[in-house]
Amino acid sequence: MTARTMLDKLWDGSEILRREDGASLMWVDRHLVHEGSHHAFAKITERGLTVAEPGLTYGVVDHYAPTAGGPGSPAIARMIETLERNAKAHGITCFGLDDPRQGIVHVIGPEQGLTLPGLMINCGDSHTSTHGAFGALAFGIGATEVAHVLATQTVWQKKPAAMRITVTGRLGPGVGAKDLALAWIARLGADGARGHAIEYAGATVQSLSMEARMTLCNLSIEGGARFGMIAPDDVTFDYLKGRPFAPSGDDWDRAVDAWSALPSDADARFSRDITIDAAEIAPIVTWGTSPEDALPVTATVPDPGRAPAEAAARIRAALDYMGLSPGQRISDIAIDQVFIGSCTNARIEDLRAAAAVLAGRRAKVPGLVSPGSRQVKAQAEAEGLDRIFTEAGLDWVGAGCSMCVAMNGDTVAPGKRCASTTNRNFRGRQGRDSRTHLMSPAMVAAAAVTGHLTDVRPLLEGRAAS
């Protein structure tokens, strides 16, 4: 038999049929919907349709979820109520504001064991790629496709090419999955993986925790990939065992046997192969308005005058929006506030990493810390992490997307600069005319205690960073 990649195995396992134009009709094992899915529900209602498989569809209140008190406006309340009403009407389980399991969709899916190796997972959210960390086929879909999945439990897709990013060596102190992701995106560009599905491989990736693997896969689309994946292994199985929706008993043993067959065959061929040395990666921050605008914190802001003509105009526009000067030291950039949260970096490991920096120190700027789920919040409070954040002067708030998308009232004011653990630094992403610098939770904590972008490594000396 021809050697197969993990992509081949996952695709074959979900494909129902293939048209002459190459598009495949795919069975969807898990469909996750949030407040933004109201258009799709309206569409199927207009056509007199119902949800085909309500037992495979799960509603999540996250984008508009208030993190302090109730909904901040009638419009926000209406978005939440609409999702909960649609879920009830169609018999869909909904992790709403009154549910102790509520949180960000890409946090609670794995947390609850809804995310499993081998499954096809869709959501009307671009960062659905997060679930690929478990060896799942997971990607975001548009509003029309959401309606199609609701009505048929299937979706049409064309199979992307397979790309492998192999990471060798050991990540240095203070360097984590967020730095690794920003490093490869900066190297290859925002379109560097366009048309491909990425499989992350190598000893460095295998040594990552599930939380770190989710961060890596979450950011795959910021480099143009359709989605990212990591082969399931013992780290995956240990994380999933005992989760509420995961198999149990004999079903668990059979599932692990099946999941163990998913990794790419040893001699499988990829259309692109990239190798990265982890030892060459330093703590990284973004300086511009795209995740590819990323550099080590020890570097200087790029000079458009020294860039190729095709890139100079874009760099100049980004610097103008960000209020930065060519040649300025990145570590001299002062910030106005910080945000720790989002589907990229709001899990317990992320909060521990930030707390390791903040413990016993005071923040020089205000900021929000929003855990990825109510269960993460409870665990963090049991460990005393919330006290570290509040004693440092930061606000410990509820679970939700919060300041990542600025839909729930948590925003960065016009012209203000935020050090953020989120996944996008687009213009206005965190609020109109806001300025966002992406980095790891530890780096955000370092920026908080110094008031400017800072190399976290000296601040970790003598401390145990998780």
Q: What is the pLDDT along the chain (466 residues), one digit of tens a residue?
A: 799 999 999 999 999 999 999 999 999 999 999 999 999 999 999 999 999 999 999 999 999 999 998 898 999 999 999 999 999 999 999 999 999 999 999 999 999 999 999 999 999 999 999 999 999 999 999 999 999 999 999 999 999 999 999 999 999 999 999 999 999 999 999 999 999 999 999 999 999 999 999 999 999 999 999 999 999 999 999 999 999 999 999 999 999 999 999 999 999 999 999 999 999 999 999 999 999 999 999 999 999 999 998 899 999 999 999 999 999 999 999 999 999 999 999 999 999 999 999 999 999 999 999 999 999 999 999 999 999 999 999 999 999 999 999 999 999 999 999 999 999 999 999 999 999 999 999 999 999 999 999 999 999 998 765 4
User: What pLDDT, on a 0 to 100 scale, did the predictor assign at position 464?
Assistant: 63
- In the block, which residue shows the tokens 């961060």? 215
What is the pLDDT at residue 152? 98
Q: Strand ranges (DSSP E) for 278-403?
A: 284-286, 294-296, 337-340, 367-369, 395-396
The predicted pLDDT at position 257 comes to 98
Instruction: Quote the pLDDT of residue 463.
Output: 79
Per-residue confidence (pLDDT) for residue 310, from 0 to 100: 86
DSSP 8-state symbol, 452? B
Name the β-bridge partners of 93: 58
Domains 8-273 and 283-460 share a fold: yes
State whether CATH 3.30.499.10 applies to domain 8-273: yes
Domain ranges of the chain: 8-273, 283-460
**Amino acid 72: pLDDT:** 87
- How many residues are there in the chain? 466
In CATH terms, the superfamily for domain 283-460 is Aconitase, domain 3 (3.30.499.10)
414: which strand partners?
Answer: none
Q: How many CB atoms lie within 10 A of CB 168?
A: 14
Cα–Cα distance measured from residue 340 to residue 351, given in angstroms and rounded to the nearest whole number: 8
Q: Measure the CA angle with vertex 14, ends 13 and 18; round to 5°.
A: 110
Whole-angstrom distance, CA of residue 442 vs CA of residue 352: 9
* Residues 435, 418 contacting (CB under 8 angstroms): yes
**Phi and psi at residue 203, to the nearest 5°:** -60, -35
